[in-house]
Amino acid sequence: MSKKIRLGILGGGGDSLIGILHRVASFINDNYQIVGAVFNPDFETSVNFAKKIDIPTSRIYKDFDTLIEEELKLPKEERIQVCSVLTPNFLHFPMAKKLLENGFNVICEKPMTTTYEEAKILQATLEKAGTVFAVTHTYTGYPMVRQMREMIKAGAIGNIQKVDAQYYQGWINPIIHEKDKRSSTWRLDPEKSGISCCMGDIGVHAFNMIEYTTGMQIKSLLADLNYLYDDNKMDIDGTALVRFNTNAKGVIRTSQIATGEENGLVIKVYGNKGGLKWEQENPNYLYVLSEDKPLQVYKPGHAYNSDLSLDGTKLPPGHPEGIFDAMANIYLGVSRAIRGEKYNDGEFPTMLDGVRSLNFIESSVASHNQGNIWVDLD
């Protein structure tokens, strides 16, 4: 009997980029096999896709409810162990909830839910279920992000006094200036993607990156969002001033109209002993600043890195790994949790990350709508 974890997939069929990302990530460490799926709302499309990627079609189900129903009939040692939820945003919550209620482990794409209220319900559901739950803030799987987290935890930069996170993209620029396009893009439709576009889609990664790397929680924020056109109510750009429980302050900068930017997630954290910088587009470099010593550039795979970082690197220094490998690291952590093996805090983002993310999104929009006032996070 295979020792691979039995993985189910919801959504992510066809050319879905998120589908490819999760599928490859699950393969990379030899520890998952896809045994069931609803790749697409249309059953035939779903079956054909399974054939195309050469997965047995016997457990391709016509819809999500059928998947749950049929899988529960199987003996536990054959049943899907964990389901990856890659469907459109508004389906994350009902699917994740039902999965948890039926004892499945869940890997959920972000945003975990479309509202903070749903997020708290899901949190309560998980507490009862006691299964494993991960939300895929993929970027936390990069070895140098993990190294940043561990260095901060170990005091390498001392007490944090300034945090600056950026997530700049330009992809919505060719859409936003044409009324037809901006009215018909699902990302700009609150029904489909929740109350925020920019903060909800990418600001939330910047937020999560701050809390993941620093280990601190953002206490309050003041946000100013931008729409460009009055007939579009969804933010496509915005900046949030943030404060922590300490005397540190910071800023989260996001944009989808930073024309020409690709996927510009950047985080900088400064403490009284030094600073750290990391850029997603060049993920294998971590810049370590200090006052009186030369800049240091950390790279993956070297013995000087922390265990958490080294666990995420497969090849020797100088062999660039990328975003598939980052996601694979998250899948690896989840596999350990599912198997009851020892794993470390930080190997995958958890329900708490998901809950706080929704708290962040709603607080940002609330701050903006009320005239750029300070809003406390819970």
Residues between 116 and 175 that touch a copy of itself (CB under 8 A): 157, 161-162, 164, 168-171, 173-174
- In angstroms, what is the minimal distance from the CB of 92 to a copy of itself? 21
DSSP for 80-109 reads --EEEEES-HHHHHHHHHHHHHTT-EEEEP
In the set 75, 130, 294, 340, which binds a copy of itself (CB under 8 A)? 294
In the set 88, 103, 215, 317, which binds a copy of itself (CB under 8 A)? 317
Judged by CB under 8 A, the chain residues 234 through 263 that form the site for a copy of itself are: 237, 239, 241, 247, 249, 251, 253, 255, 257-263
Region binding a copy of itself by CB under 8 A among candidate stretches 49-57, 72-80, 202-210, 344-352: 49-57
Site for a copy of itself contains 274 (CB under 8 A): yes
Residues 126 and 351 sit within 8 Å (Cβ to Cβ): yes
**Dihedral of the CA atoms 116, 118, 122, 123 (nearest 10)?**
30
In the set 73, 76, 293, 342, which binds a copy of itself (CB under 8 A)? 293
Binding mask 320-339 for a copy of itself (x = CB under 8 A): xxxxxx--------------
Tracing tokens 């050319």 back to the chain, one arrives at 15
Site for a copy of itself contains 297 (CB under 8 A): yes
Site for a copy of itself contains 271 (CB under 8 A): yes
Site for a copy of itself contains 376 (CB under 8 A): no
For 202, the token pair is 């990418």
Closer residue to a copy of itself (CB): 54 or 191: 54
Residues 9 and 309 sit within 8 Å (Cβ to Cβ): no
The whole-angstrom distance between residue 366's C-alpha and the CA centroid of its chain comes to 22
Residue type, 14: G
Tracing tokens 């265990």 back to the chain, one arrives at 307
Site for a copy of itself contains 12 (CB under 8 A): no
CA distance 74 to 242: 49
Region binding a copy of itself by CB under 8 A among candidate stretches 121-129, 211-219, 222-230, 351-359: 222-230
For 45, the token pair is 């499309």
Torsion sign (Cα): 136, 18, 255, 192 = negative
